């Protein structure tokens, strides 16, 4: 049986990182060094 992995993308704030870590995300994608992003 396959194991489902969850990645949360678009993290820009430390508090969001803490939240997704608490809920068990397997991977996290960050947006850094971009002055403005529609995401």
pTM, to two decimals: 0.64
Report the chain's terminal Cα–Cα distance, integer Å: 34
Q: What percent of the chain has pLDDT over 90?
A: 56
Q: Residue 6: is its pLDDT beyond 70?
A: yes
Buried b (16+ CB within 10 A) or exposed e, 3-24: eeeeebeebeeeeeeeebeeee
Q: Residue 5 and residue 12: Cα distance in Å, rounded?
A: 21
Q: Where are the domains of the chain?
A: 1-33
CA–CA separation, 12 vs 21, rounded Å?
A: 14
E strands of 1-39, at which residues?
A: 7-11, 27-30
């Amino acid at each position: 049986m396959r194991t489902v992995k969850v990645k949360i993308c678009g993290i820009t704030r430390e508090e969001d990182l803490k939240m997704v870590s608490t809920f068990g995300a397997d991977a996290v994608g960050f947006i850094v060094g971009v002055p403005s992003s529609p995401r």
